[in-house]
Amino acid sequence: MSEDVFDKIAIIGIGLLGSSIAHAANAYGGAAKVALWDASDDVRHRAARVVHGAVCDTADAAIADADCVILCTPVGALGEVTAAIGQNLKPGAILTDVGSVKAKAASDMAAHCPDQVHLIPGHPIAGTEKSGPEAGFASLFQDAWHILTPLPDQDAAYGEAVERLTLFWKGLGARVETMDAARHDRVLAITSHLPHLIAYNIVATAYDMESVEQGEVVKYSAGGFRDFTRIAASDPTMWRDVFLTNKDAVLETLGRFSEDLAALQRAIRWGDGEMLMREFTRARGIREAIIDAGLDTAEADFGRRQLDPNSEN
Amino acid sequence: MSEDVFDKIAIIGIGLLGSSIAHAANAYGGAAKVALWDASDDVRHRAARVVHGAVCDTADAAIADADCVILCTPVGALGEVTAAIGQNLKPGAILTDVGSVKAKAASDMAAHCPDQVHLIPGHPIAGTEKSGPEAGFASLFQDAWHILTPLPDQDAAYGEAVERLTLFWKGLGARVETMDAARHDRVLAITSHLPHLIAYNIVATAYDMESVEQGEVVKYSAGGFRDFTRIAASDPTMWRDVFLTNKDAVLETLGRFSEDLAALQRAIRWGDGEMLMREFTRARGIREAIIDAGLDTAEADFGRRQLDPNSEN
């Protein structure tokens, strides 16, 4: 047990991520003890059947003596949860999270985090479109980026805490980066938040086309639409909170997207094939950069297939 | 050889689809002889190294005595190609295509198709983001829909030709449907054309964000963006032609998409979490319909992985 980074971790919120952290800590090490809690009775009962670790009846029981507490709730609940457990966190413990928005997460948690606790916001760039404790699996974080956004101007003990947390996530297979929270939120607005918003939107638009039957949309979805429906199957509560808490960066990015789309629309209306050709060729380039960077591994696909009961038909 | 639907097929245009038809006809049967031609010297030379069938020096040599000629060029070239080969098509032969837009394809081909030739436009809902003859593979059409849009008010011989062509595509593994061309174009505008336009657009928007480095966009693309880059890697020429030839349906669909997106944008700006929750939950439903319909098979993924040198890293 002496090899474990932490003696005990506590996971608050047992969805896809919370459950996966428990599975991964069990599979790859990192914590001698794992305790979990979720605000929902139903989720706690379901989690007890699938998760490796002790599912506790109260948050306080889960966090008691924990060296590291990982909040895995939707971003909008982080302040409230920190307020509820803050006073009972062990002095010297680490408080972190997995929220997709970091500036608001940091300020909401900081408002209720005791001074003796090291608040280190974090975000794993990993997930599937599934949610709930049953969706978790140990290899979710393998080769995925994990971004930590440490608070500025902290002491040496804080620096050591960041090192321990980095070691923990590396142990689960992640590649860890640090970044300031505002930069994280700008980068994720374009790489993750906007794509999800667009996917939700196109699926809703298709739903409402009265000139096309929904059955046809489903039937011929292989033409490209299916990829969007998979993204749009992600947890609605989590994503509502992302858009409400990263409002500025999302609206800025969305404004640019809409301007660019209007230019393509105009090119289509006026038959400007050269403009379309130029833009499409340019877009192709970024895909090549991703392949050149060796980033298009089958890992994400693997997770998806493993979880999707229909995927091997 | 007597089992083959056709004695000889000719494939004009040797990209992903033309090459795949040649591979599939070789693997599963359907034609005793396969002849191919492409307008590009380079493509013909490359095709000769990878494709099963005779790569001819001229289009006329390829179509000589062919019972079925399959045009696999971008949609915008179909009229010109038909004009070039029309007079030398064998009387009683079938002329078909694989274009993603059917109304314009049908009228462009019909303008140059001799009376004794059966023009039966078609569209396989199958593909990958790869292009060129090297991208073709035999199983591309397995379990994929193939939509035929036969011309209205034809004679019995035409009906028999449609049956033969149906049998040919079924032999390659496809599920064949018939539909009128205008309906096809409306359905595909939402299931395929708009998703591709959106994907191209979001990738270009990301490219131009000066507040975010391109390297970061690539690095953290697993958050959702990567799916869009894959779609946006599709052949620019093919997609330019799709948007120019299915202009009305694409603009109508795009207009609705933009209206819906503006409503989401307003909800984010004003913090209307209920509206976001309602729309995201609704979008999730269509994904469930796709899974219920058993449509989310691994077939498309399989093709992609097989072709992507980085996918098994």
- Residue carrying the six token digits 């949860």: A81
In a domain, A1, yes or no: no
The count of domains in chain A is 2
- Minimum-distance CB partner of A290 among B229, B239, B251: B229
Residues 6+ away with beta carbon under 8 Å from B169: B122, B124, B141, B146, B148, B176
pLDDT at B286 over 90: no
Contact B206 A265 (CB under 8 A): no
Q: What is the pLDDT of residues B217-268, one digit of tens each?
A: 888 888 788 889 888 988 999 999 999 999 999 999 999 999 999 999 999 9
Q: Provide, as residue numbers in chain B, all residues whose Cβ is less than 8 Å from the Cβ of A198.
A: 198, 202, 228, 261
Helices A299-307/B299-307 angle, 10° precision: 160
- Minimum-distance CB partner of B187 among A212, A250, A312: A212
Which residue type is seen at A298? A
Q: What pLDDT sits at residue B274?
A: 97
Of B141 and B284, which is predicted with more confidence? B141
Q: Of B136, B151, B179, which closes a domain? A: B179
Contact A218 B289 (CB under 8 A): yes
Which residue type is seen at B143? D
Q: What pLDDT sits at residue A36?
A: 98
Interface A:B, Cβ pairs < 8 A: 352
Identify the residue among A130, A190, A291 best suited for mutation to test binding to B, counting B beta carbons within 10 A and taking the highest: A190
- Minimum-distance CB partner of A223 among B192, B277, B283: B192
Identify the residue among A123, A229, A274 best suited for mutation to test binding to B, counting B beta carbons within 10 A and taking the highest: A229
With cut-offs at 50, 70 and 90, classify the pLDDT of residue B292. Answer: confident
Q: B216 and B166, same structural domain? A: no
Q: B210 and B67, same structural domain? A: no
- Residue carrying the six token digits 């493509």: B43
Contact B227 A226 (CB under 8 A): no
With cut-offs at 50, 70 and 90, classify the pLDDT of residue A284. Answer: confident
Rounding to the nearest 10 degrees, give the CA dihedral for residues A123, A126, A132, A134: -130
Q: B18 and B113, same structural domain? A: yes
User: What's the average model confidence in pLDDT over A184-203?
Assistant: 95
Q: What pLDDT sits at residue A309?
A: 32
Q: What's the CATH number where B31 sits?
A: 3.40.50.720
CA distance B32 to chain A (A): 30
Q: Provide, as residue numbers in chain B, all residues whose Cβ is less than 8 Å from the Cβ of A233.
A: 283-284, 287-288
User: What's the average model confidence in pLDDT over B133-137?
Assistant: 96
Q: Of A122, A144, A179, which closes a domain? A: A179
With cut-offs at 50, 70 and 90, classify the pLDDT of residue B5. Answer: very high
User: Rounded to whole angstroms, how far apart are CA atoms A6 and A30?
Assistant: 6
pLDDT at A291 over 90: no
pLDDT at A208 over 90: no
With cut-offs at 50, 70 and 90, classify the pLDDT of residue A129. Answer: confident
Q: What pLDDT sits at residue B312?
A: 30
In a domain, B114, yes or no: yes
**B223 DSSP assignment:** G
Q: B263 and B145, same structural domain? A: no
In order of A267, A313, B230, the CA distances from B67 in angstroms are 40, 35, 37
Q: B217 and B84, same structural domain? A: no
pLDDT at B67 over 70: yes
Range of the domain at A222: 183-307
Contact B305 A298 (CB under 8 A): yes
Whether the CB-CB separation of A310 and B294 falls below 8 Å is answered with yes
Q: What is chain B's mean pLDDT, rounded? A: 90
pLDDT at B293 over 60: yes
